[in-house]
Copies of this chain bind each other. A is one copy, B any other.
Amino acid sequence: MNDITVSSPATVSNVVCGFDCLGFALDQPFDKLNIRKADEKGISIVNNDAFGLPTDPQMNVAGVAVSEMLRVAGIDQGLEITSTKSIKPGSGIGSSAASSCGAVVGVNELLGLGFSKGELVEFAMHGEMLASGARHADNAAPCIYGGFVLVRSVDPLDIVELSCPALWATVIHPQIEIKTAEARAILPKQVPLSSAVRQWSNLGAFVAALSSGDLDLLNRSMEDVIVEPVRKSLIPHFDEVMKAGRSAGAIGGGISGSGPSMFLLAENENSARLIEQAIRSEYSATGIEFNTYVSGIKSGGVSIL
C-alpha cells in the first residue's frame, strides 16, 4: 500500500452540561485526507482547499501530530499529507481535531504502526495544543472513537465511550469569528459550589439518559448553568436559535465547542430537518451569513476510505 485516504468527522465538544469533557462525532461534515509515502524524508503538507492553512509541518496540526507519532515509533518514512477540508477552521465543530486525527489514523494504518485509539488521541492532542494552546481531547476523542465520548481525565488520558441511542444533530454555523482566547478569558475562574452541584447533577443524569435512551430525561438534563450563560453573549441570537429549535422538537442544545456554531439534538432525521428549517428561518432574519448541517451521530470515528 502506497497511499491511503481517510474521512475524518466534525465533532461537537463542550456538550451543554459536559463542558471540557463531553463530545460526539457527526456524520456531516467531514474532511478527507490522503496520505502518501514519499521518497524524500520529512512530512510535506498539501492543502487542497481554500482555507489557507499552514503548509509548514511544524505549524500545521496534522504535521505536528504525525511528527510526534513518527518520533515515538522511531520511523523516518517520508509522507505527503493532502488535506481536503470541508470543516471550516474556527467553526467550533472540531476542524483542527479532524485534521490531526485523520492524519494520525491514516498514517497508523498506512505504515501498520499498531497504535491504539487512545495512543492516537494522545498524538492528535499535539495538534490540538498547537491550535488552541491547550492540551485537550474533547474533540479528538470523539473524532477517533465516534459516538458520544467522555474524557474523564487528560493526564493520564482516560476516555469513556458512552452507550447511546441513535440520535441526530442539527448544527448552525454563523460566519463570525470567535477568538478561542476570548472565549476562554471570559470564563469565571471560580464558580459557586451550588452551580457546580447543579451542573454535575445534570451531567450524571445526561449520561444515565444516554445509556437508558430516556429522551425526556435527556431533555431535562441539557442545561448548562456555568459556561453557556457567559459564552452565549459572544454568539448573536443564541437564545432565539435554542428557542426555535426546541419549539421545532429538539431534545436540547447548546454551544458547540467554544462557538460560534450551535447544535441541537433530535430523535430522528425528520425531526432534525424540521429543526434545521426553524433555525434557518430564525437566523435568516439576522443578516449574518450561516451554514447548517443535519447529521446522524457518527459511530466509529475516522474511517478509511
A residues at B contact (CB < 8 Å): 17-22, 150-153, 158, 160, 162-163, 187-193, 196-209, 211-212, 217, 220-221, 226
| Given A163-B211, A193-B191, A196-B196: A201 in contact with B152 (beta carbons within 8 A) | yes
CB distance from A301 to the nearest CB of B (A): 18
| Given A152-B220, A193-B190, A211-B163: A204 in contact with B201 (beta carbons within 8 A) | no
C-alpha spacing A17/B152, complex, angstroms: 12
Neighbouring B residues of A162 by C-beta, 8 Å: 208
Of B160, B191, B200, B202, which one neighbours A208 at CB under 8 angstroms? B160
CB-CB nearest in chain B for A151: B201
CB distance from A146 to the nearest CB of B (A): 16
Of B150, B163, B187, B226, which one neighbours A201 at CB under 8 angstroms? B150
Query: In the bound complex, do residue B205 and residue A150 qualify as a contact, i.e. CB atoms below 8 Å apart?
Result: yes
| Given A193-B188, A200-B199: A158 in contact with B205 (beta carbons within 8 A) | yes
The 8 closest A-B pairs by CB, nearest first: A200-B200, A196-B196, A21-B201, A152-B205, A190-B190, A207-B207, A211-B211, A20-B197
CB distance from A284 to the nearest CB of B (A): 36
Copies in the complex: 2
- Of A21, A162, A204, chain B has the most CB atoms within 10 Å of the CB of A204
Neighbouring B residues of A203 by C-beta, 8 Å: 200, 203-204
Neighbouring B residues of A204 by C-beta, 8 Å: 18, 21-22, 150, 152, 160, 200, 203-204, 206-207
Neighbouring B residues of A207 by C-beta, 8 Å: 204, 207-208, 211
Of B22, B192, B196, which one neighbours A226 at CB under 8 angstroms? B196
C-alpha spacing A21/B18, complex, angstroms: 16
Known pairs A21-B200, A22-B204, A200-B203. 6 more at Cβ < 8 A? A20-B197, A152-B217, A153-B198, A160-B204, A204-B206, A204-B207
Neighbouring B residues of A226 by C-beta, 8 Å: 193, 196
Neighbouring B residues of A211 by C-beta, 8 Å: 163, 207-208, 211-212
Query: In the bound complex, do residue A18 and residue B152 qualify as a contact, i.e. CB atoms below 8 Å apart?
Result: no
Query: In the bound complex, do residue B19 and residue A205 qualify as a contact, i.e. CB atoms below 8 Å apart?
Result: no
Query: In the bound complex, do residue B152 and residue A202 qualify as a contact, i.e. CB atoms below 8 Å apart?
Result: yes
Query: In the bound complex, do residue B199 and residue A160 qualify as a contact, i.e. CB atoms below 8 Å apart?
Result: no
Neighbouring B residues of A212 by C-beta, 8 Å: 163, 211
| Given A207-B204, A211-B208: A192 in contact with B193 (beta carbons within 8 A) | no
